[in-house]
Amino acid sequence: MKIINLIPFLGLIVCSLPSISQSSDTTTTTTTTIITTTTTTTTDITSSPVVLVGTHKVEHLETSNDHSWFNKNYSEYSYDSSSIAKLKSLPAEYHLVVVAGTWCADTHLQLPRFYKVIDDAAIPRERIKLYFVDRELKDPELVSKKFKIKKVPTFILMKGDREQTRIVEKPKLSIEKDLVKAVK
């Protein structure tokens, strides 16, 4: 496999990786793009066409054609309204660290749900730090090592510098109910 189109642009490295599959009568070429916010790149190619690694804003997922799963699962999620009402009064000293993988099916389901809860509870997105890891759970900022990430997505509720709770892969009840329970 050969990396083509290595393009440094505004601190981003964009790599396009060709993949060729053949059947008896046709040849199909597809391209997987990997974006990272540092000079570290990954050659992790999975079913997701774009693998993000490093710090990114969720707006990238919302506006990218490569991540249509985000908007679909965001709009389809129905949450517990009473929990949202309780989260609206989340004290300012709380913030969240999210570690996810764009290649991960659980991230495809839970990350949009998380952001719908956050948005509808009027929690400012500035209180959320979103990091993406590769399939080996590595990232250039070493966040996965710092927080001892074993599975993704992982949602960590912090009060100042102290971890209050974490939701790993799937919530026990629901994202909103698990967060409310942790704040009590």
- Over residues 72-113, the pLDDT tens digits come to 999 999 999 999 999 999 999 999 999 999 999 999 999 999
* DSSP H stretches of helix in the chain: 58-63, 68-76, 81-87, 105-120, 143-146, 175-183
Instruction: Give the pair of three-digit tokens for residue 104.
Output: 């991960």
Q: Residue 108 in contact with residue 123, Cβ under 8 Å? A: no
Query: Which pLDDT band, with edges at 50, 70 and 90, does 132 fall under?
Result: very high
Q: Residue 99 in contact with residue 163, Cβ under 8 Å? A: no
Quote the Cα angle for 170-55-148, to 5°.
50
pLDDT recorded at residue 46: 42
Predicted confidence (pLDDT) per residue in 16-70, tens digit = 334 444 444 554 444 444 554 442 333 333 444 689 999 999 999 999 989 999 9
